[in-house]
Amino acid sequence: MRMRNLVPILYILFLMLPIYWLVAMSFKTTNEILSGFSLFPQTWTFENYIAIFTDPTWYWGYINSIIYVTLNTVISVSVALPAAYAFSRYSFVGDKHLFFWLLTNRMAPAAVFALPFFQLYSAVGLFDTHLAVALAHCLFNVPLAVWILEGFMSGVPKELDETAYVDGYSFPRFFMTIFLPAIKSGVGVAAFFCFMFSWVEMLLSKTLTAVEAKPIAAVMTRTASSAGYELGLLAAAGTLTIIPGAIVIYFVRNYIAKGFALGRV
């Protein structure tokens, strides 16, 4: 093996260590955790996982998270598609400013919006619903989706559109049957990023929910603080939050590198 291969291997090792420790902890009994250091679980236990899967507050946390993340991904990508098309194909009054303004919304610290969001979504009666979180996450996911999709669409020659119109396609039919398949990897990449940022975001999703739509990540913090240090349970819940991301990333593994390269600055 050559020396330079060592660099990514060491890096990946560094990435895996904390994850390993989280997973190892999740299989330890509380006694073992508190009694001292052990590299591997001495007595394997599934207690922590059983606790999670039998307690509705826990597993509803997962379901809630998955609901609003999916909802957000669908909303973000479907509104971003026509907008990205407009940015990539037409020039119109204010297009540059609009594009830049959209991107600035990614720069707004989520902490700034926490309180006004709480008030806004309470005022429109959406507080503690999945839709509230899904809509709130659009703040940073829609600009991102527009940005990524615009990059992919600009890579499709304009002649494709023109040929389709000459062949008598209507715009909606052209868009659905010809254009979308041509940029499907872009849609995949955009959806992936929307999923990712919605899944990992905590501050807004925690602020906008109380009981009904409480995300798993928020359930975790409450449990950790109220019931003292139930480290095993915390670790098990944490481990479970890694799985959806891992599954999604496996499906887009061949597009990750490419998707990054095609954005426009």
Identity of the residue, 4 or 211, whose beta carbon is nearer to another protein in the bound complex: 4
Distances (CA, A) of 241 to 42, 138, 217: 24, 21, 8
Q: At what angle do helices 130-154 and 110-123 cross, to 10 degrees?
A: 120
Contact 212, 128 (CB under 8 A): yes
Residues in 16-75 that interact with another protein by CB under 8 A: 16-22, 25, 33-34, 36-37, 39, 75
- C-beta separation of 165 from 174 below 8 A: yes
Cα gap 202→215, rounded to integer Å: 8
Out of 63, 139, 156, 178, point to the residue binding another protein (CB under 8 A). Answer: 139
Among 52, 77, 133, 136, binds another protein (CB under 8 A): 136
The site map against another protein for 69-98 (x = CB under 8 A) is ------x---xx-xx-xxx-xxxxx-x--x
For 231, other C-beta atoms within 10 Å of its C-beta total: 17
Q: Is 4 in the site for another protein (CB under 8 A)?
A: yes
152 binds another protein (CB under 8 A): no
In whole angstroms, the minimum distance from the beta carbon of 99 to another protein comes to 10
Hey, which residues between 192 and 231 contact another protein (CB under 8 A)?
196, 199-203, 216-218, 220-221, 224, 231
Spatial CA neighbour of 133 closest among 220, 195, 208: 208
What does residue 106 show for φ and ψ, rounded to 5 degrees? Answer: -70, -20
* Count of residues interacting with another protein (CB under 8 A): 94
How far is 59 from 135, CA to CA, in rounded Å? Answer: 23
In the complex, the smallest distance separating the C-beta of residue 177 from another protein, rounded to whole angstroms, is 18
Interaction of residue 107 with another protein, rule CB under 8 A? yes
Choosing from 50, 74, 108, 160, the residue that interacts with another protein (CB under 8 A) is 108
